[in-house]
């Protein structure tokens, strides 16, 4: 459903009331059953709205009510700058191009999973009069998007955020794009199996290469958030000569094959790390805990299904900065080991925990220190 930011600020009380009823209270199943009626009622009530800044259209409405009506009523959105058409499966090229030719500026455009669109839309985006002001573009899960179509977007010199997860873009195409657009700060490549090399761009702040073919940790001193979950290849010790990550705050390598050597290298190169997820990293042992406990800003640590024991947990005693520790299914950690944690640590996943004498303890007892 649409977010709260979708309701127009200048709408009359009656219009605002109806918008709330439609977008915030209606069940999805109800909208699916009465979609056409809802759309007509919605459009009738917003005719008096003169200025929009944020347009987020529910996928249930656009799925039944797309091309003709979107084009006919797009005059209402001429002042809008944020457009989200995520999962609007039946919206057409014709409707979007009509809209693009009439709006004055677009800074945020999400077309993820718009199955009715072709990559021809990207040509119009790159040539639009407002293209220089576009900051975010989302075209996730566009099956027809490959390196050739990605090249259309190199003219978007103001783009700082790009979501192309689930497409056919390759490492070569991504490399060429980043050479032409070094200003990019946020890049989402999840599910792109043909991405086998970590993208390199000096200004990248957040990068998601989860479930790709990437074989090594990305480079970049500006990186703040890195997501590398479910990678098929082993990610070992960092290559010699690799630079540091002074700004890295969040790292998620859940279900990826990393070991204690990787953690040692990461702690040396990312001393300001605050959040780390090692869930289902079966090669992680107590050795990693020694290095992680020395991070002065670490506040969140996920150790689900790792081989960490009481010995490793004891490194996070009093004086440590850790505040949240997830031990779900980390059965080698007993209740006695948890009792030695810093009192300020919130421990998750304590539903049934064994003591050192092999007795099961209930979660209510576990939280007593």
Domains, in order of start, for the chain: 215-369 (3.80.10.10)
- Which pLDDT score is estimated for 241? 65
Q: How confident is the model at residue 180 (pLDDT cuts 50, 70, 90)?
A: very high
Q: Among residues of the chain, what percentage have pLDDT more than 90? A: 53
pLDDT of residue 351 exceeding 80: no
Q: Judge whether residue 27 has pLDDT over 60.
A: no
Count Cβ neighbours within 10 Å for each residue of 16-38 and write b for 16 or more, e otherwise: bebbeebbeebeeeebeeebeeb
- pLDDT tens readout for residues 302-349: 999 999 999 999 999 877 889 999 999 998 998 888 888 877 889 888
Phi and psi dihedrals of 41, rounded to 5?
-65, -40
- Work out the average pLDDT over 48-52: 43
**pLDDT bracket for residue 361 (50, 70, 90):** very low
What's the pLDDT score for residue 207?
A: 97
pLDDT tens sequence across 80-139: 788 888 887 777 888 888 888 888 889 999 999 988 889 999 999 999 999 999 999 999
pLDDT reading at 165 higher than 80: yes
Q: How far apart are CA 309 and CA 304, in angstroms?
A: 12
Question: Tell me, what's the pLDDT at 118?
Answer: 92
- Give pLDDT tens digits for 250-305: 999 999 999 999 999 999 999 999 999 999 999 999 999 999 999 999 999 999 99
Residue 22 is predicted with a pLDDT of 41
pLDDT at 76: 62
Mean pLDDT of 237-243: 73
DSSP 89-145: TT--HHHHHHHHTT-S--SEEE-TT-TT--THHHHHHHHSTTGGG--EEE-TT-TT-
Q: Which helix (H) or strand (E) holds 147?
A: helix 147-150
Task: Label residue 357 by pLDDT band (50, 70, 90).
Answer: very low
Phi, psi at 121, each rounded to 5°: -60, -35
Residue 235 clears pLDDT 80, i.e. is over it: yes
CA 82, chain centre distance (Å): 18
pLDDT top residue among 191 and 72: 191
Residue 125 has what pLDDT?
96
How far, in whole angstroms, is CA 315 from its chain's centroid? 31
Q: What's the angle, vertex CA 48, arms to CA 42 and CA 53, rounded to 5?
A: 80
């Amino acid at each position: 459903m649409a977010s709260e930011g979708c309701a127009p600020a200048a709408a009359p009380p009656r219009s605002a009331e109806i918008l709330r009823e439609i977008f915030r209270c209606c069940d999805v199943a109800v909208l699916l059953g009465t979609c056409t009626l809802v759309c007509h009622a919605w459009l009738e009530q917003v005719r008096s709205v003169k200025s929009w800044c944020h347009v987020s259209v529910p996928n249930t409405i656009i799925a039944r009510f797309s091309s003709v009506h979107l084009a006919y009523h797009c005059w209402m959105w001429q002042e809008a700058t944020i457009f989200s058409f995520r999962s609007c499966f039946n919206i057409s090229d014709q409707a979007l191009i009509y809209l693009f030719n009439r709006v004055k500026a677009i800074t945020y455009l999400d077309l993820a999973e718009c199955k009715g669109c072709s990559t021809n839309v990207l040509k119009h985006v790159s040539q639009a009069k407002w293209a220089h002001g576009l900051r975010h573009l989302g075209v996730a899960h566009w099956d027809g998007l490959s390196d050739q179509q990605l090249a259309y977007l190199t003219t978007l010199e103001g783009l700082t955020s790009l979501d192309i997860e689930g497409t056919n873009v390759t490492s070569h195409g991504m490399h060429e794009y980043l050479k032409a657009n070094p200003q990019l700060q946020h890049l989402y490549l999840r599910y792109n199996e043909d991405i086998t090399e970590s993208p390199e761009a000096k200004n990248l702040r957040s990068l998601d290469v989860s479930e790709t073919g990437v074989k090594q940790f990305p480079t970049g001193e500006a990186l703040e958030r890195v997501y590398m979950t479910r990678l098929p290849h082993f990610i070992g010790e960092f290559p010699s000569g690799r630079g540091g990550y002074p700004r890295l705050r969040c790292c998620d390598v859940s279900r990826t094959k990393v070991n204690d050597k990787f953690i040692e290298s990461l702690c040396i190169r990312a001393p300001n790390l605050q959040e780390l997820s090692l869930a289902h990293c079966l090669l992680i042992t107590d050795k990693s805990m020694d290095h992680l406990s020395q991070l002065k800003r670490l506040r969140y640590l996920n150790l689900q299904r790792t081989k960490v024991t009481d010995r490793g947990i004891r490194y996070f005693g009093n004086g440590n900065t850790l505040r949240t520790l997830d031990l779900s299914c980390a059965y080698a950690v007993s209740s006695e080991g948890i009792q030695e944690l810093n009192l300020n640590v919130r421990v998750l996943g304590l539903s049934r925990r064994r003591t050192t004498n092999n007795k099961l303890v209930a979660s209510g007892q576990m939280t007593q220190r």
